Structure 1
Amino acid sequence: MSTPQPKNPLHGFTLQQILELLLEQNGGFTGLAKQVKLNCFTNDPSINSSLKFLRKTPWARTEIEQLFIRQRLYQKTDQA
């Protein structure tokens, strides 16, 4: 059984959901690449290739999760 995590802003979000919300908020891969300097957002970007890279690279995943938290996108989904 999972324990509720009311203070964890990432709780309930998959990496794919986080990436899709960031892409929407920042104007696609070009805008996201300006926020986070990762080659997976500049060189032939796609959701699948980016997810594959982020799942294999903990520091990059942390960068994306922190951007998600800084932009407070988790709050916008609660209000919808």
Structure 2
Amino acid sequence: MIEEQQNNPLHGLKLETMITELVDFYGWKILYAALKLGCFNTNPTIEACIIFLKKTEWAREKVENFYLYRFKRMPKAVGEQFDLKPRERGFASGIVPRKPMELTLASIAEMQAKASAEYEAGNRRPNSGKRFGNDVGKGAGKKTAGGRGTGSGYGSSNSSSQRRSEPRHDSKNDSRMTERSGPSPSTDDNDPWGTKRS
């Protein structure tokens, strides 16, 4: 695990360095559009971002995920790695960061619309084995990246009674976690991302 940790681009990376790299490459507008964090929008400075992200763990992890998977374009976390914080994740030796993903305001809006549509489709799927309102109890009413409250999508007047009567599920055992984790990692050392699969 120590060897893999050293292959994590976040390992030993200072918050200031990470933010500076992201701002230099993307700029404040793109970062705000992609992450929806106020520190990238209202009089943004590196120092203000550092202060906010040091105090706000969920926001820091959101930026670290963006750094790993959009800026460094490392393979998505699967299995047990998915449940770890971004700085704790490991990558097999030999996997190196790729060129940062080029982002525009239009491409970000398109990705967010696609993600929102997939999320909505997943919640409407009949007999999928998912319980009604998967994120109930985890910040209902909080704003998501799309700007809508997570508690607003229930629609029916009896939804609050449904939410109360259903048992809580541990997020590690939630069926959505395995669905989002993607394909299993490639065992081919020459193709660590699995791009040569047919």
TM-score, normalised with respect to structure 2: 0.34
Letter in 2 for 1:19: I
- 2:6 is paired with a residue whose SS is coil
Q: 1:55-77: per-residue Cα shift (whole Å, max 9, x none)?
A: 0000000010000001217836x
- Structure 1 vs Structure 2: percent identity of aligned residues? 33
Extract unaligned runs of 5+ from structure 2: 74-95, 99-198
Greater Rg over alpha carbons, structure: 2
Q: 2:45 aligns to what?
A: 46
Q: 1:19 aligns to what?
A: 19
Alignment pair present for 1:60 and 2:96: no
TM-score, normalised with respect to structure 1: 0.78
- Higher RCO, 1 or 2 (CA under 8 Å, sep at least 6)? 1
Aligned mates of 1:62, 1:42 — CA distance in 2 = 18
Report the alpha carbon displacement of residue 36 of structure 1 after superposing the two structures with TM.
Answer: 0.6
Q: Report how many aligned residue pairs link the two structures.
A: 73
Extract unaligned runs of 5+ from structure 1: none
Report the alpha carbon displacement of residue 30 of structure 1 after superposing the two structures with TM.
Answer: 1.1
Q: 1:8 aligns to what?
A: 8
Letter in 2 for 1:57: T
The CA RMSD over aligned residues, in Å, is 1.9
Query: Which residue of 97, 113, 134 corresponds with 1:75?
Result: 97
Q: Which structure shows the higher helix fraction?
A: 1
Q: 1:29 aligns to what?
A: 28
The runs of at least 4 aligned residues of structure 1 exceeding 6 Å deviation read: none
Q: 1:32-73: per-residue Cα shift (whole Å, max 9, x none)?
A: 101110111111111111110000000000010000001217
Aligned mates of 2:45, 2:25 — CA distance in 1 = 16
Letter in 2 for 1:21: E
